[in-house]
Amino acid sequence: MIHRIKKSSWLAVVISGVCLAGLAGGCAKRPTVDPTAVEAASKLPGAADVMAALAKKDYDGAMAALMKVKEAATGEEQTVQFGVLSSQVKSKLLEVADQDQKAADALSVLRAMASGGR
């Protein structure tokens, strides 16, 4: 019994260390996206409207346009492309959300969309 407890404790320490190392490593670098996936996502109907609204800092417009793209996406390929587009939008919003409350609000909307809330 004591041997089993020691083994379990040791395993918990190892798993915790691996998790913490993974978190620390994830903070240091951003994941990269395949450029062809980004290009394909930019060709989705309405994707240009999303990016144009973001460029103008029209975050409400960007979220509305993104919702239209989501609704128009059909099939697995377009669903994956929408995911790439959504990640791009999230990345751009994260860059400015600390300084711009409207961007922070749009980021909240995007997170709700991703979790199925809106």
Verify that 54 and 24 share a domain, yes or no.
no
Q: What's the confidence (pLDDT) of residue 101? A: 96
Verify that 50 and 26 share a domain, yes or no.
no
Q: What is the dihedral of CA 16, 23, 28, 66, to 10 degrees?
A: 170
The better pLDDT of the pair 2, 51 is held by 51
Encoded amino acid at 51, one letter: M
pLDDT, one tens digit per residue, over 73-87 is 999 999 999 999 999
Verify that 1 and 52 share a domain, yes or no.
no
Average pLDDT over residues 6-32: 44
User: Which pTM value belongs to this model?
Assistant: 0.69
pLDDT, one tens digit per residue, over 38-56 is 888 889 999 999 999 999 9
Query: The domain containing residue 12 runs over which residues?
Result: 1-30
